[in-house]
Amino acid sequence: MSVSVDAIVALLSLISLEVILGIDNIIFISILADKLPAERRDRLRYWGIGLAMVIRLFLLTVISWILKLDTELFTVFDISFSGKGLILLAGGLFLLYKSTKEILYKTEQEEHNDESKIEKIHGSFKKLLSEIIILDLVFSIDSIITAVGMVQELWIMYTAVIVAVGVMLLASGPISRFILKHPSLKILALCFLMMIGLSLVAEGLHFKIPKGYIYFSMAFAFFVNFIQIKKIGKKF
């Protein structure tokens, strides 16, 4: 089977998009993995990212059902709601709740809890994995519908998902260790997740916020934080 230049361009574009969208998953998983002992963090990351791939590949097999999620179900105050919109709303609210809760824990409670109390706050592996699956599902549905809007060939979608997840697995370790090493970056990452949660809620209500604005602003914030860390002499 010959592959056209257009197909290659579409594949590379979709891989890039999947990797960018996967940054949200990596950050969320990294924050939750911090609740586990060091020897179990990698296992949670691999499971979380691996399940993201499984969910996306499964959704591609039921692509006709996924496309129906864009169909209007009902209208409230002149705002129409579809299956996709309800999922984005629920996922965005969940992400806002989790991010706010984690910021509160990192900034307020962690300083006033002894080691035994902190262990009680930490979640179990299964509980944390279930939270990751919820966000994996939300991000996956958004990702698949976006992919369908870009390309028509299923093989390009399958290949892009598999390659993007492979890149995410390779990058998740360094990104996770970098974020968890610096407390200020943890808070910044959680604020980033809050922005993503807000954008999901807005998208569910048909107020589209270009993701480029969000990613650029957060990249700039990370860059400024990077300079501050370097200036005070911390090693990377």
Write out pLDDT tens, residues 9-22.
Answer: 888 888 887 787 77
Q: Name 100's Cβ contacts closer than 8 Å, sequence gap at least 6.
A: 194
Per-residue model confidence (pLDDT) at position 233:
59
Per-residue model confidence (pLDDT) at position 106:
67
When mean pLDDT is compared across 8-12, 66-70, 169-173, the lowest value belongs to: 66-70
Question: CA 23, CA 168: separation in Å to the nearest integer?
Answer: 8
**Which pTM does this prediction carry?**
0.69
For residue 115, pLDDT beyond 50: no
Residue 186: C-alpha distances to residues 95, 104, 181, 190, 192 (Å): 15, 12, 8, 6, 10
Per-residue model confidence (pLDDT) at position 89:
85
Percentage of the chain exceeding pLDDT 70: 86
Per-residue model confidence (pLDDT) at position 173:
81
| CA nearest to 191, candidates 15, 16, 31, 1 | 31
When mean pLDDT is compared across 41-55, 122-136, 160-174, 221-235, the lowest value belongs to: 221-235
Q: Name 213's Cβ contacts closer than 8 Å, sequence gap at least 6.
A: none
Q: What is the rounded average pLDDT of the residues 61-74?
A: 73
CB 192 within 8 A of CB 23: no
Per-residue model confidence (pLDDT) at position 123:
56
Question: CA 199, CA 209: separation in Å to the nearest integer?
Answer: 6
Per-residue model confidence (pLDDT) at position 3:
63
What is the pLDDT confidence band of residue 234, given thresholds at 50, 70 and 90?
low
Question: CA 68, CA 37: separation in Å to the nearest integer?
Answer: 42
For 79-99, the pLDDT digits (tens) are: 888 887 888 888 888 888 888
